[in-house]
């Protein structure tokens, strides 16, 4: 397997950084696209061997310069990005990839973005997917479900300190979820073995648990009582409209990922929530009173 030159968008975000670090560990050349060269993750990527590229995604010339000679583009967006910006930046990047001869685009979307939903942050990624298809650009779509890393953000850490887990999600309905490390490993496989992945769309999940099962998992690992609270949608709309819209939509549709099939077809040691949670430094996380620096105040919620 030859080393590949990969441009990673949103390289300091939870998903982009995980992919960049995994590719670097596998010997690939990574160009880490960022607007913040002083970001701690940018510094970490540079120490691991990445080349940092300060790029304004609204500048076609800057995007084109950073993409010269690249074999692959891994494109993702900040999860809380304005939908219009997602469409604009996504279109610029895939148009430039087509013009510069990039051989493969791996695009990180949402499971529910395979078709229009009326929910802006889903439909923005659907528009980028549609643009990839229009360009006939060789591509693979990965669509992670709820990222387990969301539980390390201050929003949920505060709940854990109060002995509760609250989501706008029916207590008995399963929530599909995936560890960001598993997403990175899957993306690396798609990049290294493109023939098996080109033209395919994968909803990614390593586990699926009800709210009650999630609360029991965290209670067992944290060693403290934890109750599940089904948050009323009205309250969710007031505190986080994006999560509320996703939850309202997804509560009425079938699960997007086939967890059993993914485990059978792709041997990447998928994490269960229990297995992932046991690897986290909960004493340190719960002792902090500020948002988790790895994921930001709102965190890496996917939700669809």
Q: Which residue has the higher pLDDT, 2 or 205?
A: 205
DSSP string, 75-102: E---TT--HHHHHHHHHHHHHHHHHHT-
* pLDDT tens digits for range 214-233: 999 999 999 999 999 998 76
Distance CA 159, CA 281 (A): 16
What's the whole-model pTM score? 0.91
pLDDT at 232: 78
pLDDT at 236: 62
pLDDT at 255: 73
If you average pLDDT over residues 261-287, what whole number do you get?
96
Residue 56, classed as helix, strand or coil, is coil
Maximal CA-CA distance, the chain: 56
Mean pLDDT over the full length of the chain: 90
Residues paired with 108 in a beta bridge: 142
**Structural domains for the chain:** 5-146+178-204 (3.40.50.720), 148-176+207-254+270-287 (3.90.25)
Phi, psi of 31 (to 5 degrees): -105, 115
If you average pLDDT over residues 90-96, what whole number do you get?
98
DSSP string, 134-201: HTT--EEEEEE-EEGGGGGSHHHHHHHHTTEEEESS-TTS-EEEE-HHHHHHHHHHHHHSGGGTTT-E
pLDDT at 234: 64
- For tokens 């999860």, the residue is 79
């Amino acid at each position: 397997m030859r080393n590949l030159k990969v441009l990673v968008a949103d390289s300091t975000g939870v998903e982009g950084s995980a992919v960049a670090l995994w590719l670097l560990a596998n010997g690939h050349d990574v160009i880490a696209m960022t607007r913040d060269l002083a970001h701690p993750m940018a510094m970490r990527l540079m120490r691991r061997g990445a080349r940092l590229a300060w790029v304004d995604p609204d500048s076609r010339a800057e995007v084109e310069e950073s993409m010269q000679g690249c074999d692959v583009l891994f494109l993702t967006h900040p999860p809380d990005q304005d939908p219009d910006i997602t469409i604009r930046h996504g279109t610029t990047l895939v148009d430039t990839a087509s013009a510069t001869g990039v051989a493969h685009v791996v695009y990180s979307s949402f499971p529910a973005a395979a078709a229009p939903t009326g929910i802006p942050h889903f439909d923005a990624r659907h528009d980028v997917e549609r643009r990839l298809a229009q360009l006939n650009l060789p591509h693979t779509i990965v669509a992670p479900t709820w990222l387990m890393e969301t539980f390390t953000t201050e929003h949920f850490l505060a709940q854990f300190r109060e002995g509760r887990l609250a989501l706008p999600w029916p207590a008995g309905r399963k929530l599909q979820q995936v560890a960001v490390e598993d997403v990175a490993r899957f993306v690396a496989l798609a990049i290294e073995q493109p023939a098996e992945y080109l033209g395919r769309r994968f909803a990614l999940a390593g586990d699926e648990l009800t709210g009650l099962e999630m609360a029991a998992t965290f209670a067992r690992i944290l060693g403290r009582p934890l109750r599940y609270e089904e948050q009323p949608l009205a309250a969710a709309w007031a505190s986080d409209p994006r999560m509320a819209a996703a939850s309202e939509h997804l509560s009425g549709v079938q699960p997007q990922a086939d967890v059993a099939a993914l485990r059978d077809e792709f041997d990447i040691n998928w994490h269960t929530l229990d297995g992932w949670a046991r690897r986290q430094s909960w004493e340190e996380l719960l002792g902090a009173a500020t948002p988790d620096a790895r994921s930001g105040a709102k965190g890496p919620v996917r939700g669809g």
